[in-house]
A and B are shown apart, each in its own frame.
Chain A
């Protein structure tokens, strides 16, 4: 099955017990595209992202990422995940390691780099997120914004083909949000393919190629940011956008 999409997810269903959370989601993402996913709480945004790198197993459907069949039992999932970076709302840095230790762990144990090379690559990744001087700090010694940038460095150090962001700025104090968005903008300019779940509408407007609106386990509508924000065609989209713009 030839496809020129770097992410090609089809008919994704996900059940948690009796709860039907994803009800047949199709998501195709082009290389270098930045796709923004919005939608009410509980609509399945996180679950969709987590299916893409198999942190959750979809109940049915097919997922191709960078030509790899993510749902084939023969696929080496750990190898595939190297190519899919993920950034979490709560950072999830390893608190017992330095920033550099966080970034080099997978470089050494997944990418198989020797310590010296891993450290060079790790420092370069920290440099890209503007934290070269914090390499020896532990997460506890860093601000939330700095922690999230280290988490981004931890992903980009592995040279992923796609990056998934699940509400990367939601846990941050407002004054720290900008520094993280700045780094994300830099990534975008470097050509990274990104799928971002977030409520940062300003960022969506000037950085996203496409906005996807999800509700109740389905993609309701999608399109360029201007179209979705100014002229949503569905009532549910209009209601949701009205709601968040009032905040």
Chain B
């Protein structure tokens, strides 16, 4: 058992490969999380224009990309776009899929945050002559983000986990590299290493999230 799953020799041999994977996972996260946040913010700002011509297409968009399994979306982009004459590569496909999928989730979170700010806040801001955009930027958004911080963090956690989907389209992130190492060494130890690294990477976020959630609960009491 120990030989199979915690083989020290294999660990040593696989370490450089797994490390490359780790960096790529971090890099991928550092790209897709801001991209998703940006997409979400744009969606939420558009949603604050309560015009039916904006509202319905937006709802359709968000619903569609939330209902669509991200893995299917990714494979569709990766396998389908070349037929449309677009050869984008795995990394770009992951970025686009995440922008569409997680952007929709972030969008709903931002929207809930914006809705949670009392209307009187905007009225006070507008009554002093601030424009709609200024009121949004200086008064509403800071409060909105603070109100939904636990949800934003929790979604970010999911996004980082989802980067492992990149392995399906040959993006050399942590899981992909670990599987490479496994197939070279004929031993599952690299996969165990990847699992441990995922845990170590995400655990601080999980702790932070728990603390935020507890504080939010305490604040509500």
Decide if A and B are genuine partners.
Answer: yes
Once A95-B143, A105-B138, A109-B134 are accepted as A-B contacts, the answer to whether A86 and B120 lie under 8 Å apart by CB is no
Bound-state Cα–Cα, A105 to B146, Å: 19
With beta carbons under 8 angstroms apart, the residue of B120, B128, B143 that contacts A105 is B128
Which single residue of chain B is at the shortest CB-CB distance from A107?
A: B128
Give, as a whole number of angstroms, the nearest-CB distance from B219 to chain A.
Answer: 11
- 22 A-B pairs, CB-CB below 8 angstroms? A55-B123, A78-B131, A80-B129, A85-B128, A88-B120, A90-B118, A90-B120, A92-B121, A92-B124, A94-B125, A94-B138, A95-B143, A96-B143, A105-B125, A105-B128, A105-B130, A106-B128, A106-B130, A110-B129, A110-B130, A154-B124, A154-B128
Query: Is A82 interfacial (CB 8 A cutoff)?
Result: yes
| Contact present for B129 and A79 (CB under 8 Å) | yes
Q: Which listed residue (B128, B131, B134, B142) contacts A96, Cβ 8 A?
A: B142
CA A55 – CA B120 in complex, angstroms? 11
Q: Which residues of B contact A155 (CB under 8 A)?
A: 127-128
B contacts with A, residue count (CB < 8 A)? 18
User: Which of A79, A92, A154, A155 has the most B CB atoms < 10 Å from its CB?
Assistant: A92
Interface of B is mostly: helix
Residue-wise interface mask of A (152-180) relative to B, using a CB-CB cutoff of 8 A (1 in contact, 0 not): 00110010000000000000000000000
Q: Does B126 lie at the interface of the complex (its beta carbon under 8 Å from any beta carbon of A)?
A: yes
Q: Which residues of chain B are within 8 angstroms of A85 by Cβ–Cβ distance? A: 127-128
Q: Which chain A residues have a beta carbon within 8 Å of chain B's beta carbons?
A: 53, 55, 78-82, 84-86, 88, 90, 92-96, 105-106, 109-110, 151, 154-155, 158
Assess whether B128 is in contact with A55, with CB atoms less than 8 Å apart.
Answer: no
Q: How far is the CB of B133 from chain A (nearest CB, A)?
A: 10
Q: How far is the CA of A94 from the CA of B117 in the complex (A)?
A: 10
B139 touches A94 (CB 8 A): yes
Known: A78-B131, A96-B142. A55 touches B121 (CB 8 A): no
- Chain B contacts for A109, CB-based, 8 A: 130, 134, 138
Interface residues of B (CB under 8 A from A): 118, 120-121, 123-131, 134, 138-139, 142-143, 146
Which residue in B120, B121, B128, B142 is a CB contact (below 8 Å) of A81?
B128
Q: CA separation between A109 and B130, bound complex, in Å?
A: 7
Residues of B near A78 (CB, < 8 A) are 126, 129-131
- 11 other A-B residue contacts (CB within 8 Å) besides A94-B121, A96-B146: A55-B123, A88-B120, A90-B118, A90-B120, A92-B118, A105-B128, A105-B138, A106-B125, A109-B134, A109-B138, A154-B124
Residues of chain A lying within 8 A (CB to CB) of residue B139: 94, 105
Q: Across the interface, which residues of B come within 8 angstroms of A92, CB to CB?
A: 118, 120-121, 123-124
Minimum Cβ distance to chain A for residue B120 (Å)? 4
Task: Report the minimal beta-carbon distance from A88 to chain B, rounded to whole angstroms.
Answer: 6
In order of increasing CB-CB distance, the 4 nearest A-B pairs are A92-B124, A106-B128, A110-B129, A86-B127
Which residue of chain B is the closest to A160 with respect to CB atoms?
A: B128
Q: How far is the CA of A31 from the CA of B28 in the complex (A)?
A: 63
> How far, in whole Å, are A92 and B135 apart by their CA atoms in the complex?
13
Q: Given A78-B130, A155-B128, A88–B123 Cβ distance below 8 Å?
A: yes
The answer on a CB contact under 8 Å between A81 and B129 is yes
User: Given the complex, which residues of A lie within 8 Å of B124, measured CB to CB?
Assistant: 86, 88, 92-94, 151, 154
Chain A residue contacts of B120, Cβ below 8 A: 88, 90, 92
Complex: chain A residue closest to B124, CB-CB: A92
Q: A96-B146, A109-B138 are in contact. Are A158 and B129 (CB under 8 A)?
A: yes
> How many whole Å from A231's CB to the nearest CB in chain B?
36
Contact indicator A84/B138 (Cβ below 8 Å): no
Within 8 Å CB of B121, what residues of A?
92, 94
With beta carbons under 8 angstroms apart, the residue of A84, A90, A93, A94 that contacts B127 is A84
Residues of B within 8 A of A82 (CB): 128-129
Q: Known contacts A92-B121, A94-B121, A109-B138; is A81 also within 8 Å of B126 by CB? A: yes
For the complex formed, measure the closest distance between the CB of A91 and the CB atoms of chain B, giving whole angstroms: 8
Closest residue of B by beta carbon distance from A86: B127
